[in-house]
Amino acid sequence: MDKFRIRGGRKLRGRVQIGGAKNSALPCIAAALLTGESVTLHNVPYVRDIITQGRLLEDLGAQVLRPELRTHKISAANIEIFEAPYDLVKTMRASVLVLGPLLARFGKAKVSLPGGCAIGTRPIDLHLEALKHLGAQVSLEAGYVVARAPHRGRLQGGEVNFDKVTVTGTENVLMAATLAEGKTVINNAAREPEIADLAELLNRMGARVRGAGSPTITIDGVEHLGAAEHTIIPDRIETGTFLCAAAITDGELELKDCRPEHSAIVIAKLREAGVEIEEVNQSTLHVRCCAEGLTARDVVTEPHPRFPTDMQAQYMALMTQAAGVSRITETIFENRFMHASEMQRMGADISISGNTATVRGVTRLMGARVQASDLRASACLVLAGLVAEGETVVERVYHIDRGYEKIEAKLRAVGAEIERVRESVTAQLPPAAEVGVS
């Protein structure tokens, strides 16, 4: 398995191009199942989860072409299989996003329950309850969700009230509702920018979605959806990660092709902590640390538009270099502090009580061999390695490859001393040619 070898102490300086949002591309790829016509997606990040999602669609019978590395041209005209298998879903839970589209277009779907992952049990009970409100019959058989639309194979519009905000739950039922008979209202919908991006694609395909990005989404079902072309929004979590990278190394970066408005709460929190961030224009951020250094600031993770859980680990790394005590409270996932124990091995002063981590800074971090446990924990350890004294080896970086495109190349281009140590062929992303880039 690949590792990153990092020598800390370098101040990052230069320009970083932000890629497309993994968590928007994943539902948008699944949305292509809603039509037999061609759906073209641009600015799709070349990361492992996207390759996995594309392969799932191909296993179902769709054609997925990549005329360029970050462009997907998908045609789901010949879907012959309606099942997302366990061995795939357990590696990437976002594959449950094929459930809503398959059920809506074909009246049937069989999707493995995803099982838990490093950060939590990750149930999909809310997805299933929501689909039942659209008339779906749902049963659990040998670890699989078996869903049917009993009314002539078509879902019926209805009212969905989510007890808890769920991003992919909102996305699954939003996609299903586009082809349901009649009107659907989704209450307590997730408000993440990726929801609005998915709705924009669906409306380009001929859907009638209103209110995406607000807590209430209304969908008037249509008979068919058609071809569309769409550009995926920039990745707000990659943006936040590089904002932290500039701040933690006392460097200065310009982030291009980002969307500052999607990172408003992260920018506000970092500014409170002493990071100087200028919104140069609608797609460019300029960031550097203030002369006085960083100040500890508390944060609580909550659904958008509050502070994102996907930035919690990166923020924790930054707070080890901030003067004072910060309390980081994780309210979304039950087990998302695993990076803390690896940070402690680097000398960080972090104590955990329940769902709150208390970080005391400023601590000198010392390079060490550390192990990544999940996608965002990996990013946290890379950030720590950038500021630690000596060498840090981050193991199991296949986690980071799931959601960051060539992060070591982007960091090296702005002065980081980081290299990928390839441990085996299997752990690497397939060469572009192998994934059908013509």
**Residue 307 near residue 297 (C-beta atoms within 8 A):** no
User: Cα angle vertex 53, ends 52, 59, to 5°?
Assistant: 90
Residue count (the chain): 438
Is residue 258 annotated as a catalytic residue, yes or no?
no
| Residue 316: CB minimum distance to ligand EPZ, A | 14
Alpha-carbon gap, residue 431 to 408, rounded angstroms? 17
Q: Is 112 in the site for ligand EPZ (CB under 6 A)?
A: no
How far are the Cα atoms of 29, 209, 303 from residue 44, in angstroms, in the given order?
9, 23, 24
Of the ranges 146-154, 164-172, 342-350, 386-394, which one interacts with ligand EPZ (CB under 6 A)?
164-172
Q: Is 116 in the site for ligand EPZ (CB under 6 A)?
A: no
**Residue 174 near residue 142 (C-beta atoms within 8 A):** no
Buried b (16+ CB within 10 A) or exposed e, 95-132: bbbbbbbbbbbebbbbbbbbeebebeebebebbbbbbe
Cis peptide before 146 (omega within 30 of 0): no
Q: Is 162 in the site for ligand EPZ (CB under 6 A)?
A: no
Q: Is 200 in the site for ligand EPZ (CB under 6 A)?
A: no
Q: Quick one: 172 or 320, whose CB is closer to ligand EPZ?
A: 172
Out of 9, 15, 68, 125, the only residue in the binding site for ligand EPZ (CB under 6 A) is: 125
Q: Where are the alpha helices (DSSP H) in 61-166?
A: 86-89, 99-106, 125-132
Give the number of other Cβ atoms within 10 Å of residue 290's Cβ.
14
- Helix and strand totals (H; E) in the chain: 14, 25
Q: Is 403 in the site for ligand EPZ (CB under 6 A)?
A: yes
Out of 16, 98, 102, 124, the only residue in the binding site for ligand EPZ (CB under 6 A) is: 124
Q: Is 378 in the site for ligand EPZ (CB under 6 A)?
A: no
Q: Is 313 in the site for ligand EPZ (CB under 6 A)?
A: no
Q: Is 310 in the site for ligand EPZ (CB under 6 A)?
A: yes
Per-residue x/- track, 346-375, ligand EPZ (CB under 6 A): -----------------------------x
Residue 431 buriedness (CB in 10 A; 0-12 / 13-18 / 19+): exposed
**Could you say which residues in the range 32-91 bind ligand EPZ, by CB under 6 A?**
none
| Residue 303: CB minimum distance to ligand EPZ, A | 7
Q: Is 201 in the site for ligand EPZ (CB under 6 A)?
A: no
The pairing of strands 252-256 and 216-220 is unpaired
Give the number of other Cβ atoms within 10 Å of residue 150's Cβ.
12
E strand residue ranges, 250-388: 252-256, 275-281, 284-289, 294-295, 299-301, 322-330, 349-353, 356-361, 369-371
Q: Is 115 in the site for ligand EPZ (CB under 6 A)?
A: no
Out of 11, 122, 148, 183, the only residue in the binding site for ligand EPZ (CB under 6 A) is: 122
Q: Quick one: 201 or 322, whose CB is closer to ligand EPZ?
A: 201
Segment holding 231, helix H or strand E: strand 228-231
| Residue 238: CB minimum distance to ligand EPZ, A | 10
Out of 40, 112, 166, 321, the only residue in the binding site for ligand EPZ (CB under 6 A) is: 166
Per-residue x/- track, 216-255, ligand EPZ (CB under 6 A): ----------------------------------------
Out of 36, 115, 120, 347, the only residue in the binding site for ligand EPZ (CB under 6 A) is: 120
Q: Quick one: 194 or 395, whose CB is closer to ligand EPZ?
A: 194
| Residue 167: CB minimum distance to ligand EPZ, A | 4
C-alpha dihedral, 331 to 335 to 340 to 342, nearest 10°: -160
Q: Quick one: 290 or 429, whose CB is closer to ligand EPZ?
A: 429
Alpha-carbon gap, residue 337 to 335, rounded angstroms? 6
**Could you say which residues in the range 13-32 bind ligand EPZ, by CB under 6 A?**
23, 26
Cis peptide before 305 (omega within 30 of 0): yes
- Judged by CB under 6 A, how many residues of this single chain contact ligand EPZ? 22
DSSP for 108-127, written as a single string: EEEEE----BTTB----HHH
Q: Is 94 in the site for ligand EPZ (CB under 6 A)?
A: yes
Of the ranges 139-147, 163-171, 380-388, 404-412, which one interacts with ligand EPZ (CB under 6 A)?
163-171
Buried b (16+ CB within 10 A) or exposed e, 207-240: bebebbbeeebbbebeeebeebebbbbbbbbbbb
Out of 45, 54, 135, 169, the only residue in the binding site for ligand EPZ (CB under 6 A) is: 169
Q: Quick one: 156 or 166, whose CB is closer to ligand EPZ?
A: 166
Which positions lie near ligand EPZ, rule CB under 6 A?
Answer: 23, 26, 94, 120, 122-127, 164, 166-169, 309-310, 332-333, 375-376, 403
- Catalytic positions are 117
